[in-house]
Amino acid sequence: MVFAGALSTRNMGSSANFDMHWPIGPNYDNYIVGAAYNHDFYSLYGFAIGGEVGLADRFGYFLQCCEPVIKSSSMINSPEIWFGSRFSFDGLTLFNTFRIGGGMTFGFSFTGDSIGVERGREIVKNGSARVLGYLGPEIFFALADHPEWEIVYRLHHRSGANGTFGHMGEGYNANVLGVRYRF
């Protein structure tokens, strides 16, 4: 799967509904592009258990957000790698035309540096977002004639699990859109 998206300055719940109930403001600060590979180890009746590994680049001009906002005059980058267990459902085929399904990845995420709102959260919590938990709920769509190609929406979530990792609450959240090829 390859994907791209925007990194949200809000919590996971607000990010999941695209920050629709927030006033206009700095709801998104930086961006993310990446790729993930997942493999199913066991499947039964359309349900599957597998694993995933991914690599992404988080980038933009926000060194820190949102109180205070500190911008860089040049592009900054923060690499990320994650791995975890994946649970998915192949979905339902509607009108013999398209398929809709879902999945969830649980694991760990590692970054080189923190940027944007994640850096701001580190400062407030006196924590470290270098190693956090990873959660990747997703929904995907595919044409019945080409089930190997999927359009994927995923909420890319890094979490300290309420202080369990790095003395952090939330790390970063992103709304991403991608394309997956199943082989």
Global pTM value: 0.91
Full DSSP string of 103-169: EEEEEEEEES---HHHHHHHHHHT---SEEEEEEEEEEEEETTEEEEEEEEEEEEEE-TTTTTTT-S
* Average pLDDT for the chain: 93
Q: What is the distance between the alpha carbons of residues 79 and 84, in angstroms, rounded to a whole number?
A: 17
119 compared with 14, residue with greater pLDDT: 119
Q: Determine what percent of the chain is predicted with pLDDT higher than 90.
A: 83
23 compared with 153, residue with greater pLDDT: 153
Q: How confident is the model at residue 122 (pLDDT cuts 50, 70, 90)?
A: very high
**pLDDT of the residue at 24:** 57
